[in-house]
């Protein structure tokens, strides 16, 4: 099987080997998100090497002529990403949009997604409209359409399987939330480094960037021959990183991150 390996040995050594495609499933608590940019009409979050830009109805006021306070959100990371339809200000009428792209600008596959309605569309009908982009240009003359006709709270799962594009813009005319997403990278992000430290309790703490999603931590007591097996200790979020603490037993221990 073609894999990408990032091996960490005591003492330090790091090795990388070319990889097969990696599948990433959003959203779960082990995927921290950081706020990269915020304006009156949009916000951009970064998680697991991806950027999510969603519309915000920031010019909205609770009464005509009142100060713009913006509308409240009901879906927060890691439950999903909410897009608000822009109803006030210079961008009125653009609808509710979520733009997905890799932080490094590389193409990826949008395999499937689930959108949850936060307003009713049953009376007039609704559709998620997806426009793939490549190098900043629309790929199709018209967006690809997926049903979203229903009532607030209804969820719609679709599998567009769009591949080879670096950006996907998903549009709906009313508020909605992206609550599940599966993307596939043909060129996965490799952890830039693995940080290792020994604790006073004879454990080793291993830290790597949460941007490098989809990796499994493995260990072996020796390399001749190597007998790699998965570390079952749960990873915890440490800022924008993932961290695992592993008790040490014996004189030698070798660790690696592996993606299938």
The ranges assigned to domains in the chain are 4-21+188-259, 23-185
CA dist., res. 145 & res. 189, Å (int): 30
CA dist., res. 236 & res. 229, Å (int): 20
Residue 156 CB partners (closer than 8 Å, separation 6+): 114, 115, 116, 117, 128, 146, 147, 148, 150
Sheet holding 254-259, edge to edge: 4-9, 254-259, 216-220, 229-230
Query: DSSP string spanning the chain?
Result: ---EEEEEESS----B-----EEEEE--TTS--EEEEE-SSEEEEEETTEEEEEE--TT--SSTTSPP--PPPS--TTS-EEE----SSTTTT--EEEEEEETT---EEEEEEEEEESS--TTT--EEEEEEEETTEESSSS-EEEE--S-TT-EEEE---EEEESEEEEEESS-EEEEEEEEEESSPPPPS--EEEE-TTSEEEEEEETTSTT-EEEEES-BTTB--EE--SPPEEETTEEEEEEE--SS--EEEEEE-
CA dist., res. 259 & res. 2, Å (int): 9
Measured over all CA atoms, what is the biggest interatomic distance in the chain, rounded to whole angstroms?
75
CATH classification code of 23-185: 2.60.120
pLDDT number for residue 10 = 44
pLDDT number for residue 11 = 40
Residue 240 CB partners (closer than 8 Å, separation 6+): 32, 34, 209, 210, 211
Sign of the alpha-carbon torsion through 90, 93, 98, 99: negative
Q: What tokens were used for 2? A: 């073609």
Instruction: Tell how strand 162-165 and strand 127-134 pair up.
Output: unpaired
pLDDT number for residue 6 = 40
Residue 117 CB partners (closer than 8 Å, separation 6+): 126, 148, 150, 151, 152, 153, 154, 155, 156, 174, 175, 176
Domain 4-21+188-259 classification at class level: mainly beta
259 with 3: CB under 8 angstroms? yes
Rounded to two decimals, the pTM is: 0.75
Q: What is the mean pLDDT of each run of 10 residues along the chain (260 residues)?
A: 40 41 87 92 94 97 91 96 96 96 94 98 96 97 98 98 96 98 84 77 83 78 83 81 81 74
pLDDT number for residue 192 = 62
Rg (alpha carbons) of the chain, rounded to whole number: 22
CA dist., res. 48 & res. 183, Å (int): 11
């Amino acid at each position: 099987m073609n894999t990408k390996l990032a091996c960490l040995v005591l003492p330090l050594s790091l090795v990388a080997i070319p990889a097969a495609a990696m599948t990433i499933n959003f959203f779960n608590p082990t995927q921290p998100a950081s706020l990269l940019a915020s304006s009156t009409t949009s916000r951009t979050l970064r998680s697991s090497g991806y950027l999510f830009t969603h519309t915000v109805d920031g010019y909205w006021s609770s009464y005509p002529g009142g100060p713009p306070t913006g509308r409240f959100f009901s879906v927060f990371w890691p439950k999903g990403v909410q897009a608000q339809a822009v109803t006030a200000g210079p961008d009125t009428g653009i609808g509710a949009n979520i733009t997905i792209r890799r932080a490094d600008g590389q193409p990826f596959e949008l395999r499937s997604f689930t959108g949850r309605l936060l307003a009713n569309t049953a009376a007039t009908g609704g559709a998620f409209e997806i426009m793939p982009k490549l190098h900043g240009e629309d790929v199709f003359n018209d967006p690809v359409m997926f049903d979203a006709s229903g009532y607030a709270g209804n969820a719609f799962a679709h599998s567009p399987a769009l591949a080879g594009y670096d950006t996907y813009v998903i549009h709906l005319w009313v508020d909605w939330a992206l609550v599940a997403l599966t993307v596939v990278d043909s060129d996965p992000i490799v952890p830039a480094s693995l940080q290792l430290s020994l604790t006073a309790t004879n454990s080793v703490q291993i830290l790597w960037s949460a941007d490098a999603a989809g990796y499994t931590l493995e260990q072996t007591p020796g390399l001749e021959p190597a007998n790699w097996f998965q570390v079952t200790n749960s990873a915890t979020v440490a800022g924008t990183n993932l961290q695992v603490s592993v008790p040490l037993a014996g004189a030698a221990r070798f660790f690696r991150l592996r993606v299938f």
